[in-house]
A and B are shown apart, each in its own frame.
Chain A
Amino acid sequence: MLPGNDRAVLEAFRRGETSVLTQVYRTYSREVLRYLSRRFAVGSEGGTRTVALSALDLDAAHQETFVRAFRPNMRQAYDGVRPYLGFLLSVARSTAIDLMRASGRVSREAIPLDDAPELTHLPTEGRSPEEEALSSEVRDLVRRFLETLTEEGRALAQLRFVEGLSQESAAERLQLTRGEVRVRERRLRTRFTEHLQSSGWLDTSSAPGRMELGVLLASFALCAIGSMPS
């Protein structure tokens, strides 16, 4: 429960010691990313719906979460009693909603349903038709890639990606060494990137509306650079 599990660590965290902040960041970064990649239920006059951050929004929200959480006033605000992850995720949630409001993904009046339990009885819209279409396109892209693989390649993809086994477990199941699995997985990933390039998957017009968040992140980056000690 960094940084609250040790008084000395908590004090060092509040002072902003780089080593402790780095440790906290490394401990929770992936948890925050997983949390931010969920779909957020938001309610407004038009009803409720779920919205997810795009891949680039995810980066912006993740970075901004830690930027906010590591500011001196926020470090002082953490009491060291509650689990820090819960504290961090509440910052992450408000950051995500702020970003979606700023980008126009949700209206300025929209509120996260976590803040308004009375709205949860309303029917919630799931994915938009555009999201459904994109999912279908990606599934088709992956299916066509898997069809180009040998039986062994497909088995490796199944174990590592679909079933989420570690390289050690996958090696055991495939009766290979871990080194062999590592090499084969690298080859498989390389072939997938070649497939993406040759299939024309990347050659699409830019999605409109992405730039607003780009500008936001650029602002965050500039703020961060501006606040760096020279």
Chain B
Amino acid sequence: MRWYERHIDASLPRWSLGDLSSPQATRLLRHAHRCQRCGARYERWAQAHRGLEHGQLDTPSFMELQALSQAGLEAALAAAAPEQAPSRWSSLALLGGALAAVLLAVVLIPTTTHVPGEFVSRGDGTPSPGAALRIFCATPGQPLRELHAGDACRAGAMLAFAAGGQPPFTHVAVQVRGVKNAEVTAGPFALSGGPGNEAPLELTVPMPEIAGVVEVIAVFARSPSESMATLRGEQAEGTVVLRQSVRVEEGR
């Protein structure tokens, strides 16, 4: 397994004990659907637990019921959102309005995309850009340590993250790029607090096993799709992109 691959192996024992939170159960199942290897593992795991609890495979185990029940609520509530009413405007008027809006946006609104050298939302006297990402290095046996520009984290340790954003930013997507074009993309995550009140993200990324530099990119946007589009390089307007490099130290 390459360093940036994140599979469900570590979550399955917690699934068995009923220790997964609702977002964690959702993430596990989403990953299992996307990843053929993990999908097969999840099937085998679930079958074994069905066999243990019921002696046959057609009845879900208690923990399976619990995880599935926890995982589906978010999507169900999202589906309940009212559908957009069809516009009664003619398509020509709509097109004219859209063109005028684009023209106004170009003339009046400067892009908010910027790429500072380090996340600058915290600290005395620092002007807040409305979005902040904090990066932490988690090394076994040591306290969690926040990483600032130029700081290093040991090879094999884990990176953890916390993010905050003020309106209009509602979501953040994170990408970690390592050596040899390796990268992991996670999110979008909903922002629950502003800068200074950052909330932890459901994301940990293992550091590479070899020395080098890892780049963390965070895109703050007004919607989940905008944040992902900016990460893919398809859009940048109205988003905030933060980057920070983390040195990878050889493990001792």
Interface of B is mostly: helix
Closest residue on chain A to residue B84 by CB atoms: A227
**A66–B72 CA distance with the chains assembled, in angstroms:** 8
Any chain A CB within 8 A of the CB of B193?
Answer: no
Any chain B CB within 8 A of the CB of A75?
Answer: yes
How many inter-chain contacts with C-beta < 8 Å in the A-B complex? 187
Interface stretch among A105-113, A173-181, A196-204? A196-204
A37 touches B51 (CB 8 A): no
Contacts of A58 in B (CB 8 A): 60, 68
B33 touches A202 (CB 8 A): no
B37 touches A206 (CB 8 A): yes
Chain B contributes a number of interface residues (CB within 8 A of A) equal to 60
Any chain A CB within 8 A of the CB of B234?
Answer: no
A142 touches B82 (CB 8 A): no
A210 touches B40 (CB 8 A): yes
Interface stretch among A41-49, A116-124, A213-221? A213-221
**A78–B30 CA distance with the chains assembled, in angstroms:** 30
Best-buried of B32, B68, B226 by chain A (most CB within 10 Å): B68
Q: A63-B75, A135-B57 are in contact. Are A213 and B33 (CB under 8 A)?
A: yes
A134 touches B33 (CB 8 A): no
Contacts of B90 in A (CB 8 A): none
For the complex formed, measure the closest distance between the CB of A27 and the CB atoms of chain B, giving whole angstroms.
11
Any chain A CB within 8 A of the CB of B74?
Answer: yes
B65 touches A210 (CB 8 A): no
Any chain B CB within 8 A of the CB of A128?
Answer: no
For the complex formed, measure the closest distance between the CB of A191 and the CB atoms of chain B, giving whole angstroms.
10
Any chain B CB within 8 A of the CB of A147?
Answer: no
A138 touches B50 (CB 8 A): yes
Partner of A56, one of B39, B170, B171: B39
A37 touches B54 (CB 8 A): no
B68 touches A33 (CB 8 A): yes
B57 touches A138 (CB 8 A): yes
Contacts of B53 in A (CB 8 A): 161
**A33–B41 CA distance with the chains assembled, in angstroms:** 21
Contacts of A70 in B (CB 8 A): 76-77, 79-80
A206 touches B42 (CB 8 A): no
**A56–B40 CA distance with the chains assembled, in angstroms:** 9
Chain A contributes a number of interface residues (CB within 8 A of B) equal to 68
Contacts of A71 in B (CB 8 A): 79-80, 83
**A160–B61 CA distance with the chains assembled, in angstroms:** 12
Partner of A37, one of B58, B69, B223: B58
Question: From residue 12 to 55 of chain A, which have CB atoms closer than 8 A to chain B?
Answer: 16, 18, 21-22, 25-26, 29-30, 33-34, 37-39, 52, 54-55
Q: A37-B58, A201-B48 are in contact. Are A56 and B33 (CB under 8 A)?
A: yes
Interface of A is mostly: helix
Question: From residue 170 to 191 of chain B, which have CB atoms closer than 8 A to chain A?
Answer: 170-171, 188
B47 touches A138 (CB 8 A): yes
Interface mask (A134-161 → B, CB under 8 Å = 1, otherwise 0): 1100110110010000000000010001
Interface mask (B54-67 → A, CB under 8 Å = 1, otherwise 0): 11111110011100
Any chain A CB within 8 A of the CB of B166?
Answer: no
**A56–B52 CA distance with the chains assembled, in angstroms:** 18
Any chain A CB within 8 A of the CB of B112?
Answer: no
A192 touches B52 (CB 8 A): yes
**A72–B56 CA distance with the chains assembled, in angstroms:** 38
For the complex formed, measure the closest distance between the CB of B189 and the CB atoms of chain A, giving whole angstroms.
12
Contacts of B50 in A (CB 8 A): 138
Contacts A/B (CB < 8 Å), 21 sampled: A25-B77, A30-B65, A55-B46, A55-B64, A56-B39, A59-B29, A62-B69, A63-B76, A72-B80, A131-B57, A142-B51, A161-B54, A189-B16, A190-B17, A192-B52, A206-B36, A207-B43, A214-B36, A217-B29, A221-B33, A224-B75
**Chain B contact residues, CB within 8 Å of chain A:** 12-13, 16-17, 29-30, 32-37, 39-60, 63-65, 68-69, 71-83, 170-171, 188, 222-226
Given A34-B60, A70-B76, A210-B43, 17 other A-B contacts at CB below 8 A? A16-B80, A21-B76, A59-B29, A63-B75, A70-B77, A72-B82, A75-B80, A157-B52, A204-B40, A204-B44, A206-B37, A206-B40, A210-B39, A214-B36, A214-B39, A221-B33, A230-B226
